[in-house]
Chains A and B, each alone.
Chain A
Amino acid sequence: MKARAVAITVSLLVNVALVVVLVRRSGGAADLPAPSPSTKNVPSAEPAPVVVRTIDRSGPEMWKGLASGSIEEIANRLKAEGFPPRLQRVIVRALVAQQFADRHRALADLIRARPWWKAVLDSSEGAKVIAARQRLQREEDDAVDAVLGPDLGSTPYITSSRLYRYGNLPPSTLAELDRINSDYGELMSEIRNASQGILLPEDREKLLFLARQGHADVAQRLTPEQLFEYDLHSSPEGWWLRVLTGGMNPTEEEFRALFKVRFAFSAPYSDGQYEYMTPEDKQTLAKLDPQLTEQIKAVLTPDRFAEYQLKSTAEYRQTDAFAKRFALPANAAATIVTVQNEITKRADAVRANDTLSPVARNAQLGALADEAVARLTPTLGDSSMNAYKQSAGGWLDALRPPLPPGSAPKG
């Protein structure tokens, strides 16, 4: 279940990342006169000296005058000529894309060669296209950043996303962390895309290795306190904790306390990255779960701990989504899941009761299903009950044992 939840989380995170990428994307490759090749491939702290050239300031030669020389010269000229930062980035980006024109053509060939009858994200050909596209975009981003610096022309979305993901760090550090994560993310997504959803042991080893290398690169640039903040914001455990605590609406202090407990607990196993853990590690962690629960209990008040236990489950999240859709009262999801938990626990006891005959067991389970419906109806109302059974209420059907072959349902 957790693996599935991780898959859902990863998929949602990919959605978030793609939305961020799409929002920040602006401009594109242009068929422009190619500027002289850039002599730099890495970010430069100091801008290149401004080269003074005569520009035709009124006629059709203005662009040629602006776009002559190296990328650095053009960037400096754009700045000197008062182009706004975002436009400097758009123009430099287009010129850089022109320098990579051969790569764009090769990518287009790769897209054309991809079998159209295969799923994009589910084939080795698709994985190659994705990897090539990411590599090209990364290299172009690097080339643009090398000339303009990482922040020129940044948007509130980029700034907000970086602060959310890495913590309150200086802009240059945030940009550097973005670069590191993007580089390793590119390599990791190549492995993931080629895996077609089934990770083999060798895939996990490679992914874990890359995750560790990436974290080590980050750690080199941060103080221990900053690294803790980074992990708090960016680690898989942090992301998962946000999902778990979304329903209980934690305070910052509660979140930090819970993170410390959970992170310390899972870190010895594949650095706390559940997806990369061996089955043995997962079993060990599962056995230690009661200890983790005790530690969580120790950092929350009794009321909040009870809320955490109720609302950190997949059942609560699904019921909460249902309650929001049908505009049920604020506490409806908690009421429903409380009934669900109690009935499910009693059903488990019935199933585990060796002394019951199959007929008696089924009768008791059916009675529990009837009781559940009766207790939930006041909260859901008759109109929502049917919809509930179709979505979050699938567990009600699971209480009713399948009819023996050849028998007809009553009524």
Chain B
Amino acid sequence: MKRPPLILALSVTANVALFAWWLVPKAVDRNDPIAVLPKSPSSVSNAADDRSIKESPPTASQPLWQQLDSDGDLAGVVSRLRAAGFPPKLVRAIVSTLVAEQFDAERYKIDEVALHTSYWKPWPNSYQDPKVGPALRKLQRDQQGVIKQLLGEPGPDEVGEESRAWDQLTMGNLPPEKLERLKKYSADNNERAALVYSAAIRGASMLATDREKLMALEKTFNDGLGEILTPAEAEEYTLRNGRTANQLKWMLNPFRASEDEYRTIFPLYQGYLDKFPAAAMGQPPGTSVDPTQKGAQDAMMAQLASRLGQQRADDLRLALDPKYAQLNRLVSRLDLPLAASKQVLDVQQDIQQRAALVRDNATLAASERTEHLNALAREASTRISSALGGARGFNVYKENGGQWLASLTPPPKS
């Protein structure tokens, strides 16, 4: 029963990753240069530093494209496009398309199953397939390598304003050279993480060892940031990226943290996860029975209370406790204080404990037991409606965490 949320979480993670990829306009190579094209009809020489024009004399009747693509050599196309005054960004877009076309035959061959999927079969998720995914991603890296070989790194006028804004938002203010190194470093790490996910059948059969591998990958990645970034830059980066940041941002949404609050919470939470990495994988911090972990949690919360104030710290405790996660989102959507989450869960625990006693009470006749359970259901409805601001909130709750209410009263035996 705990697995579907994991699948959902992984799929949502993939949503986020793909969405982030979508937000970043393409054209930037982040991988190793690969000089060999798969069965390319054209040869590729390095045009990045070769601005000379190699072309046959144009004729008035010759279509322009034939003239630009006169020898089928991509480096020659690059030179001629530049010489013809095509803007750098457009040269990159055209050459990227031409290179992609040369890889298409191989891509379609690798991804043949997806391209010929019958409509009555589920559409395969090629990029996360354990076999097809790595092959497609390698082809993509090779393709980017050829583009880089032909054009070099994109110049400032080849990067769109949105892309720059997105980079700034997600990575902080970094000089272009560092940004490119960081992107490549991150892409390499993402590929390693993708291999773990796809080996687990798109996360459908994640094991403790997979989670350990992912945690080790993140640690290695963070340790290596120092080779690219200053400590201050690395701090800004980890505040924005990685599992801790993503998890914290997700959990703090109903808490509506300010920037200052987030900056205050992050290092303490990171320190807590460093000591108890399992907490990052969904182990409820608020329900741990490990006294050492509980002590660390309490110490963290005490520090946060002294910095944020007791009221905010109380809300934060709820926000960071996974068992309140769904309720927190619900009360946030209903514009209610987070304390309402605790009220609702307290009612649930109280009612379920009393229901268990009723079910275990062998002295009750079946009809009496049913009556007791019905009374408990009515009481739960009244108390939860009150906590959630009335019937509207209660009805939304029934479908968002309140499914237990339906199982409180068993259907009559037929």
On whether the two chains bind one another, the answer is yes
Q: Interface on A for B, CB 8 Å cutoff?
A: 1, 3-5, 7-8, 11-12, 14-16, 18-19, 21-22, 25-33, 55, 57-64, 66, 80-84, 86-87, 90-91, 93-94, 104-105, 107-109, 111-112, 114-123, 129-130, 133, 155-157, 160, 163-164, 167, 195-198, 200-201, 232-233, 242-243, 245-246, 249-250, 252, 255-256, 279, 314, 317-318, 321-322, 324-326, 352, 354-355, 357-358, 387, 390-392, 394-395, 398
A354 in contact with B249 (CB, 8 Å):
no
The reply on B20 being an interface residue by CB < 8 A is: yes
Chain A residue, CB-CB nearest to B62: A57
Known: A108-B160, A157-B115. 12 other contacts (CB 8 A): A8-B7, A8-B8, A16-B125, A82-B66, A83-B64, A107-B162, A119-B253, A120-B19, A156-B108, A318-B3, A321-B202, A352-B410
Given contacts A104-B162, A201-B392, contact A82 B63 (CB under 8 A): yes
Residues of A within 8 A of B100 (CB): 26
Q: What string of 1s and 0s marks CB contacts (under 8 Å) between B238-277 and chain A?
A: 0110000010011011000101001100000000000000
- Chain B's closest residue to A321 (CB) is B204
Is A121 in contact with B162, judged by CB distance below 8 angstroms?
no
Query: B144: shortest Cβ distance to chain A, in Å?
Result: 13
Contacting pair A108 B332 (CB below 8 A): no
Specify which chain A residues have a CB less than 8 angstroms from the CB of B330 in the assembled complex: 198
| B residues neighboring A (CB under 8 Å) | 1-5, 7-8, 11-12, 14-16, 18-23, 25-27, 57-58, 60, 62-67, 83-87, 89-90, 93-94, 96-98, 100-101, 104, 108, 114-123, 125-128, 157, 160-162, 164-166, 168-170, 199-202, 204-208, 239-240, 246, 249-250, 252-253, 257, 259, 262-263, 329-330, 332-334, 360, 362, 366, 369, 392, 395-396, 398-400, 410
Residue among B5, B93, B253 making CB contact with A27, cutoff 8 Å:
B93
In the complex, the answer to whether B120 meets A28 with C-beta atoms within 8 Å is no
Known contacts A104-B162, A160-B116, A196-B253; is-contact A29 B3 (Cβ 8 Å): no
Chain A residue numbers with a CB within 8 Å of B253 are: 118-119, 122-123, 196
Given that A4-B4, A321-B205 are known contacts, is A25 also in contact with B123, CB under 8 Å in the complex?
no
Q: Could you tell me if A111 and B97 are in contact, using CB atoms closer than 8 angstroms? A: no
- CB neighbours (8 Å) of A60 from chain B are 83-85
A111:B166 contact, CB within 8 angstroms: yes
**Neighbouring A residues of B18 by C-beta, 8 Å:** 14-15, 18-19, 22
Chain B residue contacts of A198, Cβ below 8 A: 329-330, 333, 396, 400
Give Cα A257 to B164, complex, Å. Answer: 52
Q: How far is the CA of A47 from the CA of B101 in the complex (A)?
A: 26
Q: List 25 A-B contacts (CB under 8 A).
A: A8-B8, A11-B11, A15-B128, A19-B126, A26-B100, A28-B25, A28-B160, A32-B89, A62-B84, A87-B97, A90-B94, A104-B161, A111-B23, A112-B168, A119-B16, A119-B250, A122-B253, A129-B23, A133-B23, A156-B104, A243-B122, A325-B205, A352-B410, A391-B204, A392-B3
Q: Are A391 and B84 in contact (CB under 8 A)?
A: no
Please, which residues of chain A bring their CB within 8 A of the CB of B116? 160
A4-B4, A104-B161, A197-B329 known; A30 and B90 CB under 8 Å?
yes
Question: With contacts A60-B83, A122-B253, A198-B330 known, is A28 near B27, CB below 8 A?
Answer: yes
What distance in Å separates the Cβ of A379 from its nearest Cβ neighbour in chain B? 16
Instruction: Please pick, from B26, B89, B202, the residue contacting A25 in the complex, using a CB distance under 8 A.
Output: B26
**Could you say which residues of chain A place their CB within 8 Å of the CB of B200?**
325
- Please give, as numbers and ranges, the residues of chain B lying within 8 Å of A321 by CB-CB distance: 201-202, 204-205
* B207 near A390: Cβ-Cβ < 8 Å: yes
A15 touches B15 (CB 8 A): yes
Tell me if A8 and B11 are in contact (CB < 8 A).
yes
Closest B residue to A395 by beta carbon equals: B1
Chain B residue, CB-CB nearest to A317: B204
- Smallest CB gap from B211: residue in A: A390
CA distance A93 to B257 in the complex (A): 40
Closest approach, in angstroms, between the C-beta of B406 and any C-beta of chain A? 9
Contact with B84, one of A63, A129, A314 (Cβ below 8 angstroms): A63
In whole angstroms, how far apart are the Cα atoms of A119 and B329 in the complex?
13
Q: Which of A18, A62, A324, A398 is within 8 Å of B1, CB to CB? A: A398
| A29 to B100 alpha-carbon distance, docked (Å) | 18
A282 to chain B, nearest CB (A): 8
> B59 to chain A: closest CB distance in Å?
8
Query: Given the complex of chains A and B, what is the CA–CA distance between A91 and B95 in angstroms?
Result: 11
From residue A251, how far is it (CB to closest CB) to chain B in Å? 8
On whether A112 and B165 interact (CB within 8 A), knowing A16-B123, A81-B63, the answer reads yes
Whether B125 contacts A19 by the Cβ 8 Å rule is yes
- Chain A residue, CB-CB nearest to B25: A28
5 closest A-B pairs by beta carbon, nearest first, are A82-B63, A321-B204, A255-B120, A27-B93, A62-B84
CB distance from A14 to the nearest CB of B (A): 5
